[in-house]
Chains A and B, each alone.
Chain A
């Protein structure tokens, strides 16, 4: 794949900035987003579409919560843990959120090292990111197990509106699936970086296109998106 951002011809003519620049870019030929590779544009547009998916999930959950006549379970009690003789509300979610946000940090560092073509550091940071992501999914599995053992089911729970369990499993499950896919792809990208695929432009197994370090950044876009979505789930499901 040759259309990556650091290979944009250096002789590009000067373009105006600000709004005028945007108008100029959109009225120009070839590309509407100058200097943006195909892969990156695709990821951004996919993320907009995925935003609508999560938006619909969250709006549906809010509708269900607002229209049900049965009281909604108290989130800070349901999601609390009994540690060392004290009930600590939301502690597991706090740790999960901390872990996931931290993984965004290691991802950002990985992107930085990728553009410096530092193979070891990039691969290491990608693996750290994947491990943090896996830890998040693991803790989510723990949370699911705990709630299921307490009697929460998609069709009902001991504390109130049955839509609580339904929305919980659906939304966190859908987000967890996103994180899981992210972890898998992080590991694939880490392997490619480690093996030096992006240095010698080795061809992808499926697409037969040459790899490039920009893939790390595109991977990062997806990962940061998954984190951002979690912030909204955290706010609307756990804190509300």
Chain B
């Protein structure tokens, strides 16, 4: 368990001098600049997380409505087919962009990057503050679309043209699609401001002794995901601008010649496939933008709670970077049924299967980290293990869908829905929950209520499987996605209806368990027991701050100096089962004795 390089830490003299003099922090003078228009990354992180979770609750309610319709079709009059399309569209868009991306990068990124790399704050606190406010504006525009005439867009979260801007689609010829696209453009502008901050802070703002290869994997995951987002979001912003022009200026970028209700539309000569390419050039990296921070965070949770160094740290880093790079050349596997050239599909099937290799390396390394570890089944650890299992499950069905011939019959069925909910819905959300339970003591200074956490985990974990395992079967039978009702097709049996109702009941129960989670977070704020500075006895820098919660500027008068990597758990001969990153170890005299 001894890492050959880092177990014998550098002696203090070998740490190079500070290259960058300390930068003055902005000192807030009033309540407003301290807590509202704050430039402190930690406050911004909480603002980001709070907004993301709030809009996520909307998505949760929408998922209930979706399941109510699917499980008990015809029972609820207000869920018309149009409303159903609006629900699935908004549920998908909110979960992928406004919750997962914002929470992982804006929330965890802001809180953890400066603390974990030993910086006082992000490098550009002002731009960081703007990032949040523009994100909030994007969320508000999204919320406004619910109250706009015609309601939000019902084009599906992929917003495929031509249907996205036509009158047959809810919001297509009303405000819905316009507000959606404006909101996305705002989100990307806001994200870019924050993203530049995260990247530059990691590259140029580390403390003395913190090399890239000593960073916790959490930082590696968030950093790589941010770089990817800065390169993938441009495709989405371009697609959004072009579709906005198609809708508002009657250009025909994506619109072919069309006849609607017997009437020839003004459009002609555009390519809907072009939109699909642009969308998925963003959309596939987006999957990993959500997954990589989860990979990083879960590595740290497992290592900390199994009291063991992460297995194959360097491999883990290179796997993150490799997945990030590879994810830019797999996008067209979302488009096998778009009529593309079979050779094109062959190329993308190959890259898709190759990207499973670094992913599998990561899974092996997590399991090998657990192997013979001193596993503490704390709530964060439960969620981490839940993640591994769920991710493997979801990943395996990905191998089915990555192959052209297997994908074609499965395309647009509930099997796909079950697949991506397992792999990029449930799995990353498990990590988010584990991470919140893990870092809550640092953010608030108090522990969460343990039994509520365990209850939350078991209901969520078991419940998710009760929802999504049967859903694979529903898809294999042939039920298409995005249909509000099954109708009278011959393959639809009575048992299929029963199964759908069962899934819906499970979904409602899992949804309510999340309310226990939220209650726990608010209740523990006052009533949780005092956590102390380092309740999990972890090595990384955020646990070594002099104050908990950390004050503005993060560390005391002196920035910490890093002497070792972030995974010195259970080092033989050490007085405790962890050695903090800023622990210089015994002096020469002590070692000689």
Residues of A within 8 A of B (CB): 1-3, 7-9, 11-13, 26-34, 36-38, 41-42, 45-46, 48-50, 52-53, 55-57, 60, 63-64, 67-70, 154-155, 161-163, 165-166, 170, 174, 206-209
Contact = CB atoms under 8 A, between A and B. Distances in A.
Interface stretch (B93-101, B263-271, B346-354): B263-271
A163 B269 contact: yes
B253 A64 contact: yes
A29 B210 contact: yes
Interface of B: 15-24, 26, 123-126, 192, 195-197, 199-200, 203-213, 230-231, 233-235, 237-239, 241-242, 245, 249-253, 266, 268-271, 274, 278, 281, 562
A34 B19 contact: yes
7 nearest CB pairs, A to B? A166-B251, A52-B234, A56-B238, A155-B250, A53-B234, A154-B249, A3-B20
A49 B198 CA distance: 14
Contact of B253 (A8, A29, A166, A208): A166
B270 A208 contact: no
A47 to B, nearest CB: 11
Contacts of B208: 29-30
Contacts of B235: 52, 56
A206 to B, nearest CB: 6
Contacts of A11: 17
Contact of A31 (B204, B209, B233, B271): B204
23 contacts: A2-B23, A26-B212, A27-B213, A29-B206, A29-B208, A29-B210, A32-B212, A38-B204, A45-B200, A49-B230, A50-B234, A52-B230, A52-B231, A53-B238, A60-B238, A154-B245, A154-B250, A155-B250, A162-B269, A207-B26, A207-B126, A208-B26, A209-B23
Contacts of A63: 271, 274
| Residue from B20, B124, B199 with most neighbouring chain A CB atoms (10 Å) | B20
Contacts of A9: 17-19
B126 A206 contact: yes
A9 B208 CA distance: 14
Contacts of B238: 53, 56-57, 60
B204 A166 contact: no
B203 A32 contact: yes
Given A30-B207, A30-B208, A45 B16 contact: no
A31 B20 contact: yes
| Residue from B18, B20, B123, B204 with most neighbouring chain A CB atoms (10 Å) | B204
A48 B230 contact: yes
A170 B242 contact: yes
Contacts of B125: 207
Nearest to B562: A29
B126 A29 contact: no
B245 A166 contact: yes
A56 B204 contact: no
Contacts of A70: 269
Contacts of B213: 27
Given A2-B23, A49-B230, A155-B251, A30 B16 contact: yes
B187 to A, nearest CB: 15
Contacts of A48: 230-231
A2 B212 contact: no
B583 to A, nearest CB: 16
A33 B203 contact: yes
A67 B277 CA distance: 14
